Amino acid sequence: MRLDTIDYRCRWLAHTRLIGIGMKRSFAIVQQADGSLRYESFDYGGGRATILQPDGVQQTTKPSQRVDGGRESNDGKGGTLLSFANRGYAYVVHLPAQGQASVEIAHGGRVVQREPLLAWTFGPG
């Protein structure tokens, strides 16, 4: 994509359910062949990353964090939660029916970071 005079390469992963963009990271949630979800975050500030094309069609960079075994649930208010657990950390993406989406990271049950999403696209299952 081109903005003004700068060309940007977009991330594309097969079976993507969500792409989220925040101030500190972007992330993708993809559905695996077994129906489970995978969370991959891409933290900003690491310089220009090498483009990976795992099958010649998909396009991404090496993730900063990858967590498998996620699941989708209803938040009880018409929205969606995408939840992941990894070594004492919990990653929860909140997609309310209306309003601001966010990603929350907790350790030992205590929220250590909550980041509103500046933009997102979501394909419900």
Q: How far apart are CA 28 and CA 54, in angstroms?
A: 16
Q: Which domain holds residue 108?
A: 2-122
In the chain, the percentage of residues whose pLDDT exceeds 90 is: 47
Q: How far apart are CA 2 and CA 83, in angstroms?
A: 34
* pLDDT, tens only, 57-90: 555 556 778 899 999 999 999 999 999 999 999 9
* pLDDT, tens only, 16-29: 888 898 888 888 89
* pLDDT, tens only, 86-105: 999 999 999 999 999 999 99
Number of domains in the chain: 1
Greater model confidence, 31 or 54: 31
pLDDT at 74: 93
